[in-house]
Amino acid sequence: METLKISVYRRDPATEGEGKYVDYEVPMEEGMVVLDAMKYIEKHIDPSLSLRWNCMAGKCGSCSAEINHRPSLMCKARVDSYKGQKITVSPLAAYPLIKDLVTDVSQNWDLLKRIPKFTPKEGLEKPWKISQVDIERSKEFKKCIECFLCQDVCHVIREHNSGYFGPRHVVKAASLDMHPLDALDRSTFMNKDAGLGYCNITKCCTEVCPEEIHITDNAIIPEKERAVNAQYDPIAMIVRARRKGRGNK
Amino acid sequence: MRAASESPVRHIIPPEFLEPNWRFWSFVFISILGSLLIIMYKVPVYDGLTDPFYTPTVLILPLVVLFRLTCYAYRKDYHRHLFNHPNSCATDVRLDSKSRGYSGETGFFRIENVHRYFMYTAWAILPFFYYDIYHSIVYTGAITVTLGTVILTVNALAVTFYTFSCHSVRHLIGGYRDCVNCPVNQNRKNSLYRFQSRLNGHHEAIAWTSLIMFVFVDLFIRGMVAGIVPNILLIHMGL
Amino acid sequence: MIDMSSQYIKQETDVLIIGAGGAGMRAAIAAFDSGSSVTILSKSLLGKAHTVMAEGGIAASLANVDPQDSWEVHFADTIEEGVYISNYRMAEILAKEAPDRVRELEEYGALFDRTPDGAIMQRAFGAHTYRRLCHVGDRTGLEIIRTLEDQILHRDIKFFDELYVTKLLKDGDRVVGAMGIKLNTGEFYVFSAKSVIISTGGCGRIYKVTSNSWESTGDGLGLAYEAGAELMDMEMIQFHPTGMVFPPGVKGLLVTEGVRGEGGILLNAQGERYMQRYSPKKMELDARDIVARANYAEIMAGRGTVHGGVYLDITHKGADFIKKKLPSMYKQYMDFAGVDITKEKMEVAPTVHYQMGGIRVDPETAATNVPGLFASGEVASGLHGANRLGGNSLADILVFGKRSGDGASAYSKKASPGRIDESVIAKEIDRVNSFLGKEGLNPHELASKLEENMSENVGIIRDEVKLNKALSIILELKESSKKVAVHGSLKYNKGLLQALELPSMLTAAEAIVRGAIERKESRGAHARSDFPKKNPAMRKNIIYVKGEKGMKLEWRDVPPMPDNLKKLVREEEY
């Protein structure tokens, strides 16, 4: 039977200072993905391998890992797409390690808590009427499955401890900001408190997104442009101040 | 503002400017040299063709340069390839590291935030490119279309598409709005925004096409001046 | 005596919710908003629950697309699809309250697809009289989870994710808390609560070919059963007509009914649109049990595809339409099978999808027969009877999720704090620890045996011989499960988790098989080849309860419908 050689990062931080890569051999199956191989190891070779997975269908975003040093979902990484290359699987390096391939991504909930929640405009007639055209932008961001691959690949989070919330959270803010009936503008918060200015548009987040959300072009840059309106563009600031003034009269 | 405890060191001069980075310093050297050469060795308007670097005058060049330097597409390129912030998304070949200083677009690069003002100046210069096409056609007194005219036209279109597909334009023509049909049934389609968004998706490719065109037209005209490149006559109609 | 406090972390709350899927999260919001302190526990990470896999939509009679629709029609559809053993009151509540829950979800920030005049769009779905399913493309479940997650995070609701509850704690008859192990740290947690809601979802994972996510192992069924709660209708397992068949790694993965709702047709290997033979009127959009059995029959008759499926074809709708209406199906086939569904046919076969049965609850408050214990969502029973309508599960989690939150909150306001016996805690910690550091059977292997047994012997068409065989295997596995052992530590040990899940999986499996043997008729999702007809005498529910000598089964009458509801529903035909 044809077998697949796969190298997996193993470490229990409680007992081991350094991690190591362990090689495994698993039988090949047609259409096999990396997660299938990992599950095989867990079931038949070493049940102590720690592994996080749920739906096996690319819908829940649990099985995030770095495959050949590229952040990927294990359930969607077809083994045959790595023709000839050795497959190496390691945990997300941007997050504290729990064990083997499992990392602690809980800091994301704290960040999500800080982004102001959906706040509908006042005095809307019920039931709400919304055009299909107006839901499209927000809808793209709502495809996010919170796999945090974009966070992991972002050099600002991974290499520079700057306090930047990260791509996932800009997408979240954008999904709320671009809700047609939302009353808030989160761009100032994102720029002042969420470190949006640290993003330098290098688009790795967009490259790794398994849901193919155009994170940089459709979420980050529009949020930056909105922040410019509020904080940097004198004309936009004057226009807004005058509008406000008129509104108050 | 963020709490001091979380804050990394504040940088006035971006730390990447102080690194012994051969890519960055050669880029600076070539840019300075190139600018000097452009100023020192001007090409005359030759055979009715105006070199795009001198439209309308070389003095405006800095504004155009700033428009390009603050462009979202080029930002990706130079942050990646000049500064290695990061040079690659693959984490094993990445040259970025925890030990390096980084200020992103918060310190000096905060200037990126006024990109839209440089974009306005780019719009102001745009008509001159079309005037140059007109000039190349009528300068003999008759109607003359040469290979040079065609090249100028392609260049002008590339610059136009580049300027139009800008992310700041996208924001200003509709991106700032959360709702186009509020209240519902206004039947607004937002077509301009949608069309621009489609172009914007290719902004990086258009940006590079346009930049390469610039240099190509410059070389084409210089080649003509030097007598190496012929300007083929396509149409000639007396008035 | 040893000081136990060093061995576990103690938490106190008014309402404890086990499970953070749609039902659990909606319950948490309801309980919190009615003034109780709330703690929510989840076996997986927050926001990963099986609800995210729900695709088609939420059934609610908003009548935005078909103005003739009303709660009465939705009610009748639900009762008829449930083949008259549903709890009428639950169906009535669902039909009446679903529209409010949908609009409320919209006010929480969910963005549904729209009609041309800006109302919430509704699509057709199997066995719904009118177009009724409110949807967000084909990722409605994900939208629900994200929206509710946002609400939870912005309320002062405590949550512990990756925490597996191993036992409900009782004070006399009353449930007064739960304990479990936090997977990512290996610590034991004890939660003292005035009321507990179980919203742990279904048990689809006891089958090999299933559309269910990893966590659907029937944990809540086991917890409730051990605590003395009555289970009901467990023999009713829904097979979804269309699951993927290839490649093997995703075998069983759901292909949404939305494909058929949007015009997809079923063909056998000979290219025949065979639903004309099975259901000439409703064709592909007939009830799930009928379409699933038709697909199964075609495959069994040798008219299936190479990989053992039938074809589902939507190519005639055009690439633009498909990519817009069914984007994640397009991606799913592209990514996993390398099939472009805008050009090629899909291969599909029936897959285990939903448990209609579960914990018996009171329709008004979602209370179980055990004081202090509530249940909602897939783990609860009564609403769906013998078969579930597509889209009713998402309506169920919102409607009864809220009711369970309100019910538990009201209960906890009157309840006094319970007393938790330290020795019970110590015994449970010992039980969990006892799996470690010894040699024994591999829990994954036992689970695989169970899954294969269920898929082979308790499938879409059942008979006495196979069911008896299945039961004896389950009883053997129950014995074997006592000899399970795992390597490693308490921390993030999936082998240990599998060992802890096994008893619940076996309880669920045993109930399904015992009920299936007991119900000597074919009704809804339960089809017996040896009793192919419905039997009027069995228009009843089967109740399962833990007795001194194992599982006890009892037939119980379906609560009679009042006249005003009776006249909405067609008479049952035999």
Q: Quote the tokens at residue C514.
A: 């015992």
Q: Is the pLDDT of residue C462 over 70?
A: yes
- Domain at C243-352, CATH class: alpha beta
Q: How confident is the model at residue B5 (pLDDT cuts 50, 70, 90)?
A: very low
What phi, psi does A187 have (nearest 5°)? -65, -35
C357-400 residue pLDDT tens: 999 999 999 999 999 999 999 999 999 999 999 999 999 999 99
Q: How confident is the model at residue A242 (pLDDT cuts 50, 70, 90)?
A: confident
CB contact under 8 A, B102 and A160: yes
C358: left (phi over 0), alpha (psi -120 to 50) or beta: left
Number of domains in chain B: 1
For chain B, list the contacting chains (3+ Cβ pairs, <8 Å): A, C
Compute chain A's Rg from CA coordinates.
Answer: 22
d(CA C531, CA C521): 5
d(CA C242, CA A105): 34
CB contact under 8 A, C248 and A31: yes
Is the N-terminal amide bond of C247 cis, ω within 30° of 0? yes
Average the pLDDT over B88-117 and give the result: 89
pLDDT over 70 percentage in chain B: 95
C426-461 residue pLDDT tens: 999 999 999 998 999 999 999 999 999 999 999 999
What pLDDT, on a 0 to 100 scale, did the predictor assign at position C1?
Answer: 43
Ranking C125-129, C165-169, C479-483 by mean pLDDT, the lowest is C125-129
Distance from CA of A89 to the nearest CA of C (A): 18
Test mutation, C142, C208, C216, chain A, max A CBs within 10 A: C142
Q: Is the pLDDT of residue A164 over 90?
A: yes
Residue extent(s) of CATH 3.10.20.30 domains in chain A: 3-103
Q: Quote the tokens at residue C74.
A: 């939705």
Q: Is the pLDDT of residue B120 over 90?
A: yes
Interface of A with B in 216-235 (CB under 8 A): 217, 221-222, 224-229, 231-233
End-to-end CA distance of chain C: 65
Q: Is the pLDDT of residue B205 over 60?
A: yes
Q: Is the pLDDT of residue B1 over 80?
A: no
The residue segments making up the domain with residue B196 are 18-36+43-89+113-237
Q: Is the pLDDT of residue A122 over 70?
A: yes
Q: Is A117 on the interface with C (CB under 8 A)?
A: yes
Confirm if C470 and C510 have CB atoms less than 8 A apart: no
**CATH fold label, C422-530:** Methane Monooxygenase Hydroxylase; Chain G, domain 1 (1.20.58)
Closest CA to B135 of B46, B225, B58: B46
Locate the DSSP E strands across chain B: 143-146, 233-237
d(CA B131, CA B128): 5
Confirm if A191 and A197 have CB atoms less than 8 A apart: yes
C547-562 residue pLDDT tens: 999 999 999 999 999 9
**CATH fold label, A3-103:** Ubiquitin-like (UB roll) (3.10.20)
Contact list, A94 vs chain B (CB under 8 Å) = none
What pLDDT, on a 0 to 100 scale, did the predictor assign at position B44?
Answer: 80
CB contact under 8 A, B102 and A159: yes
Confirm if C233 and C359 have CB atoms less than 8 A apart: no
- Report ipTM for this prediction: 0.94
Residues 6+ away with beta carbon under 8 Å from C108: A118, C147, C148, C150, C151
Q: Is the pLDDT of residue C42 over 70?
A: yes
Average the pLDDT over A26-48 and give the result: 91
A136-160 residue pLDDT tens: 999 999 999 999 999 999 999 999 9
Q: Could you tell me if residue B157 is inside a domain?
A: yes
Q: Is B202 on the interface with A (CB under 8 A)?
A: no
Residue in A with minimal Cα distance to C335? A76
- Angle at the Cα of B34 (from B31 to B36), degrees rounded to 5? 110
Q: Quote the tokens at residue C35.
A: 């003034």
What pLDDT, on a 0 to 100 scale, did the predictor assign at position B6?
Answer: 45
Q: Is the pLDDT of residue C405 over 90?
A: yes
Which helix (H) or strand (E) segment holds residue B156: the answer is helix B147-164
Give the 3-state secondary structure of residue C559: coil
Q: What is the 3-state secondary structure (H, E, C) of C309-360?
A: CEEEECHHHCHHHHHHHCHHHHHHHHHHHCCCCCCCCEEEEEEEEEECCEEE
Question: Which among A35, A47, A62 has CB closest to C486?
Answer: A47
Q: Is the pLDDT of residue C563 over 90?
A: yes
Q: How many CA atoms lie within 13 A of C515 on its CB side?
A: 32
What pLDDT, on a 0 to 100 scale, did the predictor assign at position B4?
Answer: 36
Average the pLDDT over B163-191 and give the result: 91
d(CA C574, CA A31): 46
Average the pLDDT over A182-205 and give the result: 95
Q: Quote the tokens at residue C429.
A: 């910690």
Mean pLDDT of chain A: 93
Mean pLDDT of chain C: 95
CB contact under 8 A, C117 and B185: yes
Q: Is the pLDDT of residue A248 over 70?
A: no
Contact list, A93 vs chain B (CB under 8 Å) = 91
What pLDDT, on a 0 to 100 scale, did the predictor assign at position C125?
Answer: 87
Q: Is B4 on the interface with A (CB under 8 A)?
A: no
Average the pLDDT over C280-284 and give the result: 92
What pLDDT, on a 0 to 100 scale, did the predictor assign at position B18?
Answer: 85
What pLDDT, on a 0 to 100 scale, did the predictor assign at position A74?
Answer: 96
C149-171 residue pLDDT tens: 999 999 999 999 999 999 999 99
Interface of A with B in 188-217 (CB under 8 A): 192-193, 195, 197-204, 207-208, 214, 217
d(CA B181, CA B228): 58
Distance from CA of B188 to the nearest CA of C (A): 13
C478: left (phi over 0), alpha (psi -120 to 50) or beta: alpha
Q: Could you tell me if residue B118 is inside a domain?
A: yes
Q: How confident is the model at residue B3 (pLDDT cuts 50, 70, 90)?
A: very low
Residue in A with minimal Cα distance to C137? A139
Which helix (H) or strand (E) segment holds residue A152: the answer is helix A149-153
CB contact under 8 A, B168 and A164: no
Average the pLDDT over B142-169 and give the result: 95
Highest mean pLDDT among A237-241, C47-51, C89-93: C89-93
Question: Which among B86, B178, B179 has CB closest to A202?
Answer: B86
Domain residue ranges of chain C, discontinuous segments joined by +: 243-352, 422-530
Locate the DSSP E strands across C19-100: 38-42, 58-59
pTM beyond 0.90: yes
CB contact under 8 A, A229 and B179: no
Q: Is the pLDDT of residue B2 over 80?
A: no
Residue in A with minimal Cα distance to C212? A55
Q: Could you tell me if residue B186 is inside a domain?
A: yes
Average the pLDDT over A111-118 and give the result: 96
For chain A, list the contacting chains (3+ Cβ pairs, <8 Å): B, C
Residue positions of C annotated with a catalytic role: 240, 260
Which helix (H) or strand (E) segment holds residue C570: the answer is none
Residue in B with minimal Cα distance to C117? B185
Four-way CATH pick for A107-248: 3.90.320.10, 1.10.1060.10, 3.40.50.20, 3.30.470.20: 1.10.1060.10
pLDDT over 70 percentage in chain C: 99
Residue extent(s) of CATH 1.10.1060.10 domains in chain A: 107-248
